């Protein structure tokens, strides 16, 4: 009896667990509540357990324009950050480089802080959060802009746009981190992954000095495994620095206190990267110049062809024999004036060289205007073909053999009239 009772209880417990899992799966698949309250997908929950991350632990977001990627990192129970998942950025507008002013349709780059008040559960673009542009650094440089978001709907005019599914998951992860006690989370936006190879490829870009500063912030995270503390003074970003007075973004930096071990570790990484950047930069610059030269040559060729096609050519008209002219005589065709005039050519007179001879080779071409692209000759018009008079064949004077046969066949009168 006791064994049967225990077995029954065990079976009932297993059934309750299975039913709970099935119910959770059904709720996730067919969730019908407010979108901003939708639970984090089970696949991410499972991965959090695998990486030893509490569901409501702190989050950190890193984005890269060039590869169109947005990473979500979460804090583990050990205190370090690990990468939870990477999303594809559906659309971002503009080009590599910072946002400068309102209306330039440029997605920002830099270090931004998001608080609960910047989360928008009623976004017209599914779900969104405002990244807080312009930040203190942007304002110190006079940069302007409003309502720069990470949102859904896969449409961008200066924002970072995701699919609705990705936007919903990022929103849920941030929401749960706030529930867990995180008061704000960082979103760090880079032009590309801040590797020595990428820095070398863009070594001669006008934004390079700005990107070196962004790389310093990225290096701090790589070295420590912790989200860097970002400040602004002297119109530049500073990282993991403490000061006796409050930092002023536009005023010179006061004496800053930074861990000597951290400074040494970051400088060691930067020195190693700088060697590789110096080695690779000339190679990438040579490739860039070759590509630019080819692009310029192609553009010049296209421009020359457009200019040539835009000029209206004067048709060359071949002279035809005048009415009543004897075979061999020609009627002269008028020659149009101007540099682009076409030459008219008549049938060679009797006794002259055959049309297949020198006269045919000298047939006029329509003049082509414009300037040729380097190494590209101008197209030439097709030669005007000589007019060959049609010679009528002489008609026979009498009936032929078939006509003679028909004449010998007796004609039968038509009985029907």
Report, as an integer, the average pLDDT of 306-332. Answer: 57
Higher per-residue pLDDT: 361 or 304: 304
Higher per-residue pLDDT: 295 or 394: 295
Of the pLDDT bands very low, low, confident and very high (cuts 50, 70, 90), residue 395 is: low
CA distance 150 to 92: 10
Is the distance from CB of 138 to CB of 108 less than 8 angstroms? Answer: yes
Give 3-21 pLDDT, tens digit per residue.
555 456 666 655 544 444 4
pLDDT at residue 213, as a whole number: 98
pLDDT at residue 166, as a whole number: 97
User: What region, left, alpha or beta, does residue 276 occupy, with left being phi > 0 and alpha being psi -120 to 50 degrees?
Assistant: alpha
Task: Please state which of the ranges 210-224, 258-272, 370-384 shows the lowest mean pLDDT.
Answer: 370-384
The pLDDT mean for the chain works out to: 80
pLDDT at residue 159, as a whole number: 93
CA geometry: angle 279, 284, 285, nearest 5 deg: 105
Of the pLDDT bands very low, low, confident and very high (cuts 50, 70, 90), residue 157 is: confident
Beta-sheet strand order (sheet of 185-190): 81-88, 69-75, 59-64, 185-190, 110-114
Is the per-residue pLDDT at 350 higher than 50?
Answer: no
pLDDT at residue 379, as a whole number: 42
Beta-sheet strand order (sheet of 119-120): 91-92, 160-161, 149-151, 128-130, 119-120
- Catalytic residue list: 151, 159
Task: Please state which of the ranges 78-87, 226-235, 327-336 shows the lowest mean pLDDT.
Answer: 327-336
Is the per-residue pLDDT at 351 higher than 50?
Answer: no
Is the per-residue pLDDT at 85 higher than 90?
Answer: yes
Report, as an integer, the average pLDDT of 241-246. Answer: 94
CA distance 158 to 105: 4
pLDDT at residue 155, as a whole number: 83
CA distance 170 to 34: 15
Give 91-116 pLDDT, tens digit per residue.
999 999 999 999 999 999 999 999 99
Is the per-residue pLDDT at 399 higher than 60?
Answer: yes
pLDDT at residue 261, as a whole number: 96
Handedness of CA 132, 136, 139, 141 (dihedral sign): negative
Of the pLDDT bands very low, low, confident and very high (cuts 50, 70, 90), residue 381 is: very low
Report, as an integer, the average pLDDT of 350-377. Answer: 42
Is the per-residue pLDDT at 365 higher than 60?
Answer: no
pLDDT at residue 393, as a whole number: 54
Out of 300-314, 382-396, 403-417, the most confident range is 300-314
CA distance 351 to 338: 32
**Residue 242: phi, psi to the nearest 5?**
-115, 145
pLDDT at residue 272, as a whole number: 97
Handedness of CA 143, 146, 152, 153 (dihedral sign): negative
Is the per-residue pLDDT at 71 higher than 50?
Answer: yes
Is the per-residue pLDDT at 415 higher than 90?
Answer: no
Count the neighbouring beta carbons within 10 Å of the beta carbon of residue 408: 6
Residue for token digits 């632990």? 57
Is the per-residue pLDDT at 352 higher than 50?
Answer: no
pLDDT at residue 397, as a whole number: 59
Is the distance from CB of 284 to CB of 204 less than 8 angstroms? Answer: no
CA distance 136 to 273: 29
pLDDT at residue 371, as a whole number: 41
Higher per-residue pLDDT: 219 or 351: 219
Cis peptide, bond prior to residue 134, ω within 30 of zero: yes
């Amino acid at each position: 009896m006791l064994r049967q009772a225990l077995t029954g209880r065990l079976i009932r417990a297993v059934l309750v667990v299975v039913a709970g899992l099935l119910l959770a799966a059904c709720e996730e698949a067919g969730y019908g509540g407010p979108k901003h309250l939708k639970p984090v997908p089970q696949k991410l929950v499972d991965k959090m357990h695998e990486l030893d991350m509490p569901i409501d632990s702190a989050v950190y977001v890193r984005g890269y324009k060039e590869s169109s990627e947005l990473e979500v990192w979460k804090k583990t129970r050990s205190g370090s950050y690990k990468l939870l998942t990477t999303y594809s950025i559906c659309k971002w507008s503009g080009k590599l480089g910072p946002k400068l002013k309102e209306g330039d349709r440029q997605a920002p780059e830099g270090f931004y802080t998001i608080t609960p008040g910047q989360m928008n559960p009623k976004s017209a673009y599914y779900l969104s959060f405002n990244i807080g542009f312009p930040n203190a650094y942007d304002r110190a440089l006079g940069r302007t802009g409003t309502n720069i978001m990470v949102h859904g709907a896969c449409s961008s005019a200066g924002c970072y746009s995701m699919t609705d599914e990705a936007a919903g998951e990022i929103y849920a992860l941030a929401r749960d981190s706030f529930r867990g006690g995180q008061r704000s989370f960082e979103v760090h936006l880079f032009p590309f992954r801040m590797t020595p190879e990428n820095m070398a490829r863009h070594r001669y870009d006008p934004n390079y000095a700005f990107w070196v500063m962004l790389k310093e912030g990225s290096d701090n995270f790589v070295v420590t495994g912790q989200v860097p503390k970002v400040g602004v003074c002297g119109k530049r970003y500073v990282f993991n620095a403490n000061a006796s007075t409050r930092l002023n973004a536009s005023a010179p930096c006061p004496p800053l206190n930074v861990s000597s071990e951290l400074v040494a570790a970051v400088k060691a990484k930067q020195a190693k990267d700088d060697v590789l950047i110096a080695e690779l930069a000339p190679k990438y610059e040579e490739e860039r110049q070759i590509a630019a030269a080819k692009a310029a040559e192609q553009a010049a060729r296209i421009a020359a062809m457009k200019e040539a096609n835009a000029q209206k050519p004067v048709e060359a008209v071949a002279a035809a024999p005048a009415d009543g002219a004897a075979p061999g005589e020609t009627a002269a065709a008028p020659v149009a004036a101007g540099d682009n005039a076409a030459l008219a050519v008549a049938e060679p007179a009797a006794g002259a060289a055959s049309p297949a001879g020198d006269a045919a080779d000298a047939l006029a071409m329509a003049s082509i205007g414009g300037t040729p692209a380097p190494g590209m000759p101008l197209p030439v018009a097709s030669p005007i073909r000589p007019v060959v008079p049609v010679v009528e064949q002489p008609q026979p004077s009498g009936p032929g053999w078939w006509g003679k046969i028909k004449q010998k066949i007796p004609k039968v009168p038509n009985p029907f009239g």
